[in-house]
Structure 1
Amino acid sequence: MNASRKLLLAASALLAITACSGDTHASKKRDAPSSPLGFELAFAGAGAATADDYAAVPEARADASPMIDLTPEQLAARLAAGNIRLIDVRTDAEVAEGVIPGAEHIPLDRFDPARLGPPDGRDVVLYCRSGKRSAMAGAKLAEATGAPVEHLAGGILAWEEAGRSLEQP
């Protein structure tokens, strides 16, 4: 863990303790609970990472969220540029209804990061119906590789909603 991350965690803990130490007498009336000044800033960067976050700061990959959300537009651009291994983790029945062009099918119940083989230079991108199962598969893959994993946020539903086409397997 780098020094700035340790400092952020220590500051967050101190701010949380400070927030809990206020006067709790019933005679004081408040409209809403308040946090100490700067509390929001301490947690401002704690949200989900996006692909743009990692493009701007490549060394951030090691300390950040294991999942990187891609929009349908970002995925389409990555597919057009090549050099990605797109994996569909939906069921056989779902895949029979259509897949994103170029996708490889490995259902979540058979998804094993060790069976993906050695890295071949392509980035792995996962997707499912809505993004939940690809996040589960991505967490397994991130744990195995120690690196964040990209997935299609909103899954194939978001892909179709964005007007992108499917192909029959």
Structure 2
Amino acid sequence: MTVRTRLSVAAAALALAVTGCSTSEANTAAADVASVSEGIASLDARQLGALVDAGKVVLVDVRTPEEFAEGHIAGAVNMPLDQFEPGAVPQVADKQTVLYCRSGKRSLTAAEMLEDATGSAVHLAGGILAWQESGRSVTALQ
């Protein structure tokens, strides 16, 4: 993990810790990530959950299609790492794009690619495993 990444993660965590859990937590999380996005920022499952609940996130799952089919965060799009193209990552106004994988390693690799192309990227620390451990559900393809 680079120094810039560590600083981004620490700044995001500190900013969210200072704001606490309020009704505007999702807006605050998005603003905090945006304010430290010089490089790659990480969100934990709680922070991502606030964005998901508020409808303020675009989720990109960089796992294989088979893994995606077994279970993914509802609303996510699948862009496998071996086919990942930063220019194809959805960017929606007023929504934070967040990359995730199983444990965080592949999404960090994709985030590095996205950061090189755009100047910033955000990924879910701990991946879908952390999401599930936080009590959140996943959706399987039928």
TM over 0.5: yes
Tell me the TM-score range normalised by the shorter chain: 0.7 to 0.9
Residue 164 (structure 1) aligned to one of 121, 127, 136: 136
TM-score by length of 1: 0.63
Q: Tell me which amino acid in the other structure corresponds to 1:74.
A: Q
Matches within 5 A, 1:99-114: 99-114=72-87
Tell me how far apart the structure 2 counterparts of residues 133 and 80 of structure 1 sit (CA, whole Å).
Answer: 24
2:24 maps to what in 1? none
Corresponding residue number in structure 1 for 2:125: 153
**Higher mean C-alpha deviation, range 79-88 or range 49-58:** 49-58
Give percent identity, aligned residues only.
43
Deviation sequence 1:71-101 (CA, Å, 0-9, x none): 1111110111112110000011111211111
RMSD: 2.4
Q: Give the Cα–Cα distance (whole angstroms) in 2 for the partners of residues 47 and 93 of structure 1.
A: 31
Q: Give unpaired runs (5+ residues) of structure 1.
A: 1-43
What is the CA–CA distance in structure 1 between the aligned matches of 2:99 and 2:6, rounded to whole Å? 20
Instruction: Provide the residue aligned with 1:93 in structure 2.
Output: 66
Structure 2 unaligned spans of 5+: 16-31
The answer to whether the Cα contact below 8 Å between 1:84 and 1:123 also exists between their aligned partners in 2 is yes
The structure having more radius of gyration, on CA atoms, is: 1
Residues 48 and 67 of structure 1 are in contact (CA less than 8 Å); yes or no, is this contact kept in structure 2?
A: no
Cα pair 1:72 1:162 within 8 Å, conserved: yes
Instruction: Give the number of the structure whose residues are more often helix, by fraction.
Output: 2
Matching of residues 20-99 of structure 1 within 5 Å: 47-50=6-9, 51-52=12-13, 55=32, 58=35, 60-62=36-38, 66-99=39-72
Say how many residue pairs are matched.
120
Q: Which has the higher contact order (CA 8 A, sep 6+)?
A: 2
